[in-house]
A and B are shown apart, each in its own frame.
Chain A
Amino acid sequence: MFGIFDIYFLQAVIDGVLLGGVFALLALGLNLIFGVIDVVWICYGELLMAGMYGMYYCYTVYHLPFLVAALVSIAAVGGLGVLLHLLVIAPLLGTAPLNQLLATGGVLFLLQSAATVLFGIDFRNLGIRLPILDVAGMYLSYARLIAFLVALAGMAALYLFLSKSYIGAAIRAIAQDRQIMPLMGVDTRRIYIVTSAIGGGLAGLGAMILVLQYDVQPFVGLTFAPITFLVCVLGGLGNMIGGSVAAVLFAEIISIAGLYLDLEWGYVFAFGIFVVLMFFRPQGLLARRRS
């Protein structure tokens, strides 16, 4: 009895880690945008949705090879990010931060309903059936394993880009001081556009991973967006390492509570614990102490 229970528990823990990787990847783009441009894209979940539809159409409808489909949809969502920045965020950069939050909320409605109009409310999936791995009596989803690895690769690539490349250095500099850097000759507008493209592209990458495991429908964004926001906030908005820690923490709570109770209870606990943690670490789990 205990032995069986144990292996289920271990499986839930491993599942949690894998899921945590996915959450961390989802949070990455949002965190980058927040850290650099200081706005929260409330419509981030809808960018994921757009990417998932992109994958569905490229792969299932137009029969492109998987990797080509992935590249096309990542580029498309990156382009969407740039559009979002130019049309919505840029005109509002000087105004109250909440206006930017609310404007991207409008985009949320727009994208969600545009998807309803264009694609209908049917649930669609890629039709790829990935095998389930049997490791020492535990059943691990192959899709989740791939997702986890892609998430790790995505994070590593972003880290390398930010730390090694010239424009990456400029992005980090802007994130540190938005006032001074323009005076030092950094073109803020260009950096913001590049950042928005990367943030959107990361949403596209996240979408590629999600679409392996979940069906697409116009409201799918609302399923993933709240978790993504809370992961970012708990990690400290703009703090990517904190975000990854928070992602794994969240995923473990959801996964382990889902083992003993329903999945919904997992979410109730995860969000409840989030609220409590916020009171103790309002600046995020790994926040540097600021005056």
Chain B
Amino acid sequence: MNRIFPWLMGAVLVALPFVYHQPYPLHLMVLVLIWSFAYTSWSVMGRFGLVSFGHGGFMGIGAYVSALLWNHFHLTPWLGIPLGMAAAAAVALVIGYPSFRFRITGHYFALLTLALSVIVLQLVTATREFTGGSLGYTPERYNHGDSIYALQFPGRDTWYLIALAVWAAGLLIRWRVDRSMLRYALEAIAEDEDAAAAAGVHVTAEKLKVTVLSAAMTALAGALYGQYQMFISPDTVSGVAVSLQMVFAVVVGGLYVLLGPTVGAALTISLTETLRVWFGTGAIGWDNVVYGTLLVLFIIFLPQGLLGSLMAWFGPARVRGR
């Protein structure tokens, strides 16, 4: 059962757009998949106690680099997105190396990376001649928005399949990290850095690996979001609010389980949409009232997140939280 189940779920998810064509639910599912991928990317490093509030910055770098290269140099996103990911990885390296070398951990690391979010946000606003500033930015349409070269597709089903593939790849990467030596090294570091170092773990190098990986994945999420929505703004893909949203959705879903970030994304997005459908425009703000309350309650009563706690109660004994 446990072996067939993922394949079965996968087949259902792939087949879905071929039998189901409602544009709005499909749109929501694409959003859930893209954000799930972003949250999963964050959790790749977050689950080892490396709580970054800078991932809004990485996401913004990915989105803006590829969109700017497309509009200003007509460079296809097929090259622009890898460049954006490389840029985010480079920033992660520049921020990460000294932080890890000089042992900036815990609160200090969280607040240091918060500065990164602010810098990216303000940089986008300051260079408004190129980036559109806080008004946002739109990649130019090419061939009426239907082109593989420009990575623009009119149909939601195409985007659904792309997002699904990227999301699955994100899960696979996290799964691989979980089964690698890197995981043991990082868990040791999270427990006690000095002891890990004494046991022969290269603390700085191991932390850098996972940070760079996580940053590059997050940049991909940002770029995909931009290509799908054809509109990016500092509010939606970068800045402090996005970084916070990323951290909290993962906490609600469950940091230590593979599908936790996905559950977090599905939960938060469906909460927002449900309240919006129920209350109409009167709902502005209510989603976050519920969300904020849930968040506080979760951290106090269910620190392993929704899925993490469910799995700890009902799952096999080897699934354990921390």
Residues of A within 8 A of B184 (CB): none
Q: Is A68 in the interface zone, CB < 8 Å from B?
A: no
Interface string of B276-313 (1 = CB under 8 A from A): 00000000111111011111101110010000000000
CB pair A117 B286 closer than 8 Å: yes
Asked if B103 CB lies within 8 Å of chain A CBs, one says: yes
Please provide the chain A residues from 241 to 275 with a CB less than 8 Å away from any CB of chain B in the complex.
Answer: 261-262, 264-265, 267-268, 271-272, 274-275
Indicate whether A133 reaches chain B with its CB closer than 8 angstroms.
no
Interface size class of A (residues with CB under 8 A): 35 or more
Within 8 A of B (CB), among A223-237: 225-226, 229-230, 233, 237
Interface centre among B103, B299, B303 (most CB of A within 10 A): B299
Chain A residues near B51 (CB-CB < 8 A): 98, 101-102
B7 contacts chain A at the CB level, 8 A cutoff: no
Q: Report which residue of A92, A116, A226, A262 has the largest number of chain B beta carbons within 10 angstroms of its beta carbon.
A: A226
Given A110-B288, A113-B285, verify A271-B240 contact (CB < 8 Å): no
- How far apart sit A107 and B295, CA to CA, in the bound complex (Å)? 8
Output the nearest chain B residue to A262 by Cβ-Cβ distance.
B126
Taking CB atoms, residues of chain B closer than 8 Å to A123 are none
Distance, CA A225 to CA B239, complexed state (A): 13
What is the CA–CA distance of A262 and B95 in the complex, to the nearest angstrom? 25
Total contacts A-B at CB 8 Å: 140
Our pick among A99, A115, A218, A226 for the contact of B299 (Cβ within 8 Å) is: A99
Q: Is the CB of A92 within 8 A of B300?
A: yes
- Please tell me if the beta carbons of B289 and A117 are within 8 angstroms of each other in the complex: yes
Chain B residues engaging chain A, CB cutoff 8 angstroms: 49, 51, 95, 98-99, 102-104, 106-108, 110-112, 114-119, 122-123, 125-126, 240-241, 244, 247-248, 251, 284-289, 291-296, 298-300, 303
The 9 closest A-B pairs by CB, nearest first: A110-B292, A106-B295, A113-B288, A116-B285, A109-B292, A264-B126, A106-B296, A279-B98, A117-B285
